[in-house]
Amino acid sequence: MGIRSVVGDDSAEEGAARIESDGSNTGGSELRTVPLSAALAVAVFVTLAASTRAATPTPRALVLTRPDVISTFGSGFQALAAQSVSNVQVGSLSTTPGLTTKVYAREGRITGFESAFSRPASRKPGVDYAFSEVDIYKSAAGAEWRLDYSRGHPNTIQAGYKVRLVKLAGFGNDGYYASFSGRPLGSAAPKLYGASITFRHGSYLATIVVSSSTLLAIGGPERLARIVDAKIGRTGR
């Protein structure tokens, strides 16, 4: 959305601002007159530039939506979560050694947003649960740090699951695919089958997870990852 008019159509004759300069070439102060519209335009430009630099980008518009999931896997999905994930939250909830709030801040993580959807389990192969999270870092190096850390600790998905990692191409700048199956350690819950894709696109880090109580249909997380990757690509960041 652009600014339709900054200072209106006032002409220089309708108003002027007096600005004092140091008058160094005359040894005293010199008053000069500039159009009021120009002065206001400069003030607005400076204010907008400062607010643009200070604004914290939000990845809310980049995560999966319910229509995204339904268009990919069919009807029946309901929203479970749609919330910001701050450094304090991600650090306090992390079960991964070394990933604290201070570490995330040091590596330049700004904020994140997550969404999750589910539908009643079916006896047919297919996705019952879909999750997405997009985190934004101050630089691509920060997002790459988190990607490398996650890739190096695959067993942190959850104890009791068998995990297999595969290097992934075609999404963002770098990423990996992980498939997992099993149940939480010591749990009598039904066996769960799942897959995730984590990839970096510029200074963004995206994670897509899908799971099912039956064998997954081929191509589950890839289709959702392409949707998120396209959204990130449109930011130009």
Instruction: Give residue 46's Cα distance to chain centre.
Output: 28
DSSP state of 202: T
Tens of pLDDT, residues 158-208? 556 777 777 776 788 999 988 888 876 777 777 788 888 999 999 999 999
- Asked whether residue 86 falls in the same domain as residue 168, the answer is yes
Tens of pLDDT, residues 214-230? 776 656 788 899 999 99
Instruction: Tell me which residue range forms the domain holding 92.
Output: 60-233
Beta bridge partners of 104: none
- Asked whether residue 188 falls in the same domain as residue 100, the answer is yes
Burial class (CB in 10 A: 0-12, 13-18, 19+), 3: exposed
**Model confidence band, residue 123 (pLDDT cutoffs 50, 70, 90):** low
pLDDT above 70: percentage of residues in the chain: 67
- Asked whether residue 49 falls in the same domain as residue 144, the answer is no
Is the alpha carbon torsion for 214, 126, 79, 96 positive or negative?
positive
Q: What is the model's pTM?
A: 0.71
- What total number of domains does the chain contain? 2
- Taking residue 125's Cβ as centre, other Cβ atoms within 10 Å add up to 14
3-state secondary structure 139-176: CHHHHHHHHHHHHHCHHHHCCCEEEEEEECCCCCCEEE
- Asked whether residue 126 falls in the same domain as residue 215, the answer is yes
Q: What is the CATH number of the domain that holds 171?
A: 3.40.1000.70
* Angstrom distance (rounded) from CA 129 to CA 115: 11
Q: Tell me which residue of 40, 60, 36 sits closest to 114, measured CA to CA.
A: 60
Contact criterion met (CB below 8 Å) for 67 and 212: no
Report if residue 219 sits inside a domain.
yes
Report if residue 159 sits inside a domain.
yes
Distances (CA, A) of 69 to 76, 78, 209, 224, 226: 10, 10, 12, 7, 12
Report if residue 6 sits inside a domain.
no
Give residue 29's pLDDT.
40
Pairing of strands 78-85, 109-118: antiparallel
Contact criterion met (CB below 8 Å) for 171 and 200: no
